[in-house]
């Protein structure tokens, strides 16, 4: 069941209503991966993720596994398994178009998923309800400060 939040500001007339999903209502949903943001910025984004057969296989298996989990399960998982880490914009080096888009959307941190358990390949983006928008890949470990 999806709970909806009524958005009072969106009412133009008594016949027009706009509903907005709350994050609480989408935690039990399976994530939907949206690659449109990265495709719109193909010249600026590092989309050369598939450098080897192993990386390709790991990426597809990771997306398959994450898609089978709920957001609640993903939030509970450690970042080196199937979880993620949230990074403030100040840690990100590059992808200025991503940061600009996320600021406009009111997002304050970038979500980072590991693509491999070992190695540096990462997928950066943001969650919008049940959807995860992929903005760029970090293949060399140089797009953000690592702890």
Residue 42 has pLDDT above 70, yes or no: no
Q: What is the mean pLDDT of residues 99-106?
A: 92
How many Cβ atoms are within 10 Å of 85's Cβ, its own excluded? 18
Average pLDDT, the chain: 78
- Interval 21-38: pLDDT, tens: 455 589 999 999 999 988
Q: What is the mean pLDDT of residues 47-55?
A: 63
- Give the strand order in the sheet containing 84-88: 32-34, 131-138, 122-128, 109-114, 84-88
Does 126 or 59 have the greater pLDDT score?
Answer: 126
Does 147 or 3 have the greater pLDDT score?
Answer: 147
Q: pTM value?
A: 0.76
Residue 70 has pLDDT above 90, yes or no: yes
pLDDT at position 58 is 81
pLDDT at position 3 is 33
């Amino acid at each position: 069941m999806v709970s909806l939040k009524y958005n009072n500001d969106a009412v133009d007339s008594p016949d027009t209503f706009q509903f907005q999903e709350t994050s609480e209502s989408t935690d039990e949903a399976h994530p939907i991966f949206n690659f449109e943001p990265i495709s719109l910025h193909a010249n600026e984004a590092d989309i050369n993720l598939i450098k080897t057969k192993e990386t390709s296989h790991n990426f597809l298996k990771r997306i398959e596994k994450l898609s089978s989990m709920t957001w609640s399960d993903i939030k509970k998982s450690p970042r080196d398994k199937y979880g993620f880490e949230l990074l403030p914009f100040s840690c990100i080096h590059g992808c200025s178009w991503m940061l600009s888009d996320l600021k406009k959307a009111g997002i304050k941190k970038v979500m980072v998923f590991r693509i491999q358990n070992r190695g540096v390949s990462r997928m950066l983006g943001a969650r919008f309800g049940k959807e995860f928008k992929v903005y760029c890949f970090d293949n060399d470990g140089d797009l953000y400060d690592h702890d």
